[in-house]
Structure 1
Amino acid sequence: MNPVNSRPEISLAQRKRQLVADELTEAALQLLVEKGFDAVTVDEIVATAGVSKRTFFRYFASKEDVVVQFLADMGTGMRSGLAARPAKERPSVALRHAVTVPLAACADRSDHAERALRVVQLILRTPALLARFLERQAQWRDDLAAELADRSGLDPDGDLYPQLAAGMALTAFHAVLQRWSGSDGSQDPAELIDQAFKVLTPALDAVPNRRTGRAG
């Protein structure tokens, strides 16, 4: 095979896979939001998307995965967002920016905002989905804690601060999602996150001195 032609073929295959995944996601979210999580089957999802059941399970392990994936990407950029903040920036400011970006992406895109709201409501009100979402948040907490340890020069295993600070930031993130969804989208997530971080700022900025262990 001519190596010059291999790259376009790979790119085409990737685009095709992404298109199928997007169609499955769109069909699943539409049905789940309209009918409720328990009322929708995988058979209905694949029928709506026009694909086989085997194709569905090639992309998703379960219908839960379709929904959780909608918000999973919110956390993937949190650590990189935190790492991109200025090194001397106060932790409260850096963390607020890190968790604000995915919230804004979820709520501010006019063409997807309404669906995003309904999916967030579905996740927070369905125990099975909420459990999966909280599992994701646990991983995000570990990622943020590792980055905070790097930024502050603390031991990620021996110092409590990185895990506690990351946990507080994600608690604020989750609380804002709850308030936003509970208000049916009438409250601004950006304003809510600012309110939350005003409460958390003193604790987040009390970074222990790496030598003395006391807050700096």
Structure 2
Amino acid sequence: MSAKNKGNRKAWDSKQRIEGALLHLMAEKPFRDITVQELVMVAGVSRRTFYRNYSAKEEVIEQRFLRAWDAYREAVARSTDLSLPALAQLLFTAMAADAEFLSLVARQRLVHLCTREVEARLPYLFEQRRGTDPATESNNVAYALTFSTGGFVWVLARWLAEGASRSPADVAAAVRYFVTLASGAMDPAREVIDQLPAVLRRQSGRMTE
């Protein structure tokens, strides 16, 4: 990921114009049909300015996404609850702040540009927060981290594919449900039965006698 011209106000203004132009064009035509030349014309910048800030048009999307990721990273740094449901709520709160952009990315089937950034950065974020906590010093940590990272990547992809319609709290609740189910603390068959209307529950009970 490029960090070109970081902190340069003029470069930031150019990036904003390029981002706006790309999103405008993506709303009208397939991403694959958008050329850099067309993009810079709509943005009102030169090709030199574009390549001073990006290596390709895909990087425009990646850098826009990473701003939402930075908000998530900062929220994690402030949080004392690092459970998977809590992390899910923090992640999707950050993503929801730019839901319009992310939904457009999903409609263009470009979610992989975002999820690969999650895949690359979640392990680093975990290492930053883990510190020297002896409870996490285990050979199992790498496997658990891979599992949770993959889960977040796919949940994010599904959330975007559904138009980012579920709230961060809803996503956190879904993650909490899965964690409870996976831990064996919940009997999935009993969970289904408990949600049935009382009359059907009684019928189910007679069938199992």
* TM-score normalised by structure 2 residue count: 0.69
Larger radius of gyration: 2
| 2:146 is the alignment partner of 1:149 | no
Task: Provide structure 1 residue ranges, at least 5 long, that are not aligned to the other structure.
Answer: 1-12, 205-216
| 2:62 is the alignment partner of 1:75 | no
Give distance in 2, aligned partners of 1:20 and 1:136: 23
Task: Tell me what 2:145 maps to.
Answer: 166
* TM-score normalised by structure 1 residue count: 0.67
Task: Tell me what 1:97 maps to.
Answer: 86
Task: Provide structure 2 residue ranges, at least 5 long, that are not aligned to the other structure.
Answer: 1-6, 184-209
Give distance in 2, aligned partners of 1:153 and 1:33: 50
Matched-pair contact (CA < 8 Å) for 1:117–1:185 = yes
Give distance in 2, aligned partners of 1:178 and 1:171: 11
Give distance in 2, aligned partners of 1:151 and 1:36: 48
| 2:25 is the alignment partner of 1:31 | yes
Give distance in 1, aligned partners of 2:75 and 2:147: 17
Give how far 1:79 is off. Answer: 4.4
Matched-pair contact (CA < 8 Å) for 1:120–1:177 = no
Give distance in 1, aligned partners of 2:124 and 2:172: 20
Corresponding residue to 1:51 among 35, 45, 48: 45
Q: Which shifted more, 188-197 or 42-51?
A: 188-197
Corresponding residue to 1:65 among 45, 59, 65: 59
Matched-pair contact (CA < 8 Å) for 1:168–1:200 = no
Show CA shifts across 1:44-70 (max 9, x none): 100000111111001111001011222
Give how far 1:39 is off. Answer: 0.8
Q: Identity over aligned residues, as a percent? A: 26
| 2:9 is the alignment partner of 1:15 | yes
1:162-201 → structure 2 map (5 Å cutoff): 163-200=142-179
Matched-pair contact (CA < 8 Å) for 2:122–2:149 = yes
